[in-house]
Amino acid sequence: MIRPERPLVVVADTMKGGLGEAAIDQLMALRRFVPEIRLAAPGSSPRISASACLPIDMPSSVRDVPAMWSAARQLRRHLRSFAVRPVVHAHGLRSMAVSLLAGVRPLVTNHNGSYMNLRRHDPRRIIFGLLPLLTRRAFSVYPGAGRLWRFLPLRSPRLRDLEPFDFDDVDASPSFVWIGRLSAQKRPDVFVRALAEASEWVPGLRGIVLGDGELRPSAELLARELGVPIEFLGECQDVVPQLRRAWAVCLFSDFEGVPFAIEEAMWVGRAVVLTPLPGNEWLGGENALYARDPSEAARHLLRLSDPSFARSRGLEAARRVRELLAQVDSHATVLSVVTRREVRSSWDTVRDEETTSRSPR
């Protein structure tokens, strides 16, 4: 078995959301191949033991200079505790900055697509495009980040336990699910307004919002003002029951990578309506429906209120996502960089380990 001589420390901005899931899944996938691997991030997760965590007070913004230096000092102390200096893999730009301040040249996976919204010659976009020069290797989870960023999409850890759903499981009336944090980036108002417009033409049409955040009160207020039936269920650990009910899944954002929520929806055979962003278009292809504003989204919801159309789009979504992600294994790619040799897929490794851990002893 190939084992790198140096330990690996995965640094993450958070243990929550898609970024947190990706970092935790990397630890789970590589711990069988790496002699010593730890996750440096704020918070905790039931998926990993406390001994695998290196606590760091990650600041909410790189503009908080004192907090950034404090986090860098914490990371530097952690790294010095290893007998052999570890390789560092930073998930997110804050983690990259903290690693650099700690005196480390890390591998980096960038999850933030906001730079795609900047004008081509904006100095900030130029700086972003040159950041890989400061790293050992730079990956981007969305395409088009720049020549120096290697596109490396991530695969949702939940796909291991998901199988296609029969369309007969959906609600009797058209139901559309929105999954994501209720924040300015995710534009939940687009979903609410689109449902309000479409519900004027389709009796019984309804929405289900899975997620929480600072915009939840305003989104609920907007739904009441427009008289649209939407269930706000908050943050859900298990979205499977709601995916079964859904005729389609929606996500409208100002920027995204390749969203895990959409991978999962397509994987189980649900049509998707998305903002036309590079990562979404790579994942959805010609089969997905794209909308930039509520009226355009409402027209798609009307089309998807036809069960035969929703079913056919869902079947095509499942076929496409399985073909696309069949060759994706970001963890094996990272391990190949660390070891400088080809490494077999890590997909079955994590699935086998988690199945064993859930089995009665």
pLDDT tens digit sequence for 273-327: 999 999 999 999 998 999 999 999 999 999 999 999 999 999 999 999 999 988 7
CB-based contact 236:242 (threshold 8 Å): yes
Q: What end-to-end distance do the CA atoms of the chain give, in Å? A: 27
Do 248 and 344 lie in one domain? The reply is no
CB-based contact 294:349 (threshold 8 Å): no
Asked, for residue 2, whether it belongs to a domain, the answer is no
Do 118 and 163 lie in one domain? The reply is no
**Average pLDDT of the residues in 87-113:** 93
Q: Which two tokens stand for residue 133?
A: 């020069």
Q: How far, in Å, are 12, 30, 40, 175, 253 from residue 20 at the CA level?
A: 7, 16, 11, 29, 19
Do 344 and 214 lie in one domain? The reply is no
Residue 203: the pLDDT is 87
Do 146 and 198 lie in one domain? The reply is no
**Average pLDDT of the residues in 318-344:** 80
**Residue 309, CB half-sphere, CA atoms under 13 Å: how many?**
11
The residues facing 274 across adjacent strands are 251, 290
Do 167 and 303 lie in one domain? The reply is yes
Do 211 and 81 lie in one domain? The reply is no
Edge-to-edge, what's the strand order for the sheet holding 230-234?
A: 230-234, 206-210, 175-179, 248-251, 271-274, 289-290
Would you place residue 337 in the very low, low, confident or very high pLDDT band (cuts 50, 70, 90)?
Answer: confident
CATH number at residue 235: 3.40.50.2000
Asked, for residue 318, whether it belongs to a domain, the answer is yes
Residue 54: the pLDDT is 94
Would you place residue 104 in the very low, low, confident or very high pLDDT band (cuts 50, 70, 90)?
Answer: very high
Asked, for residue 100, whether it belongs to a domain, the answer is yes
Asked, for residue 3, whether it belongs to a domain, the answer is no
Question: In the 3-class helix/strand/coil scheme, how is 41-93 assigned residue by residue?
Answer: ECCCCCCCCHHHEEECCCCCCCCCHHHHHHHHHHHHHHHHCCCCCCEEEEECH
Do 83 and 186 lie in one domain? The reply is no
Do 41 and 104 lie in one domain? The reply is yes
Q: Which two tokens stand for residue 335?
A: 């391990």
Buried b / exposed e along 9-48 (16+ C-beta atoms within 10 A)? bbbbbbbbebbbbbbbbbbbbbbebbeebbbbbbeebebb
Would you place residue 70 in the very low, low, confident or very high pLDDT band (cuts 50, 70, 90)?
Answer: very high
Do 133 and 16 lie in one domain? The reply is yes
Residue 342: the pLDDT is 55
Task: With a cut of 50, say whether residue 359 has pLDDT above it.
Answer: no
Do 122 and 196 lie in one domain? The reply is no
Q: Which two tokens stand for residue 143?
A: 């395409």
Would you place residue 343 in the very low, low, confident or very high pLDDT band (cuts 50, 70, 90)?
Answer: low
Tell me how far apart the alpha carbons of residues 330 and 328 are, in angstroms, rounded to a whole number: 6
Do 214 and 341 lie in one domain? The reply is no
**Average pLDDT of the residues in 229-233:** 93
Q: Whole domain around residue 25: which residue ranges?
A: 8-154+328-358
- The count of domains in the chain is 2
Asked, for residue 243, whether it belongs to a domain, the answer is yes
| pTM of this prediction exceeds 0.75 | yes
Do 16 and 103 lie in one domain? The reply is yes
DSSP 107: E
Asked, for residue 333, whether it belongs to a domain, the answer is yes
Asked, for residue 1, whether it belongs to a domain, the answer is no
Tell me how far apart the alpha carbons of residues 26 and 12 are, in angstroms, rounded to a whole number: 11
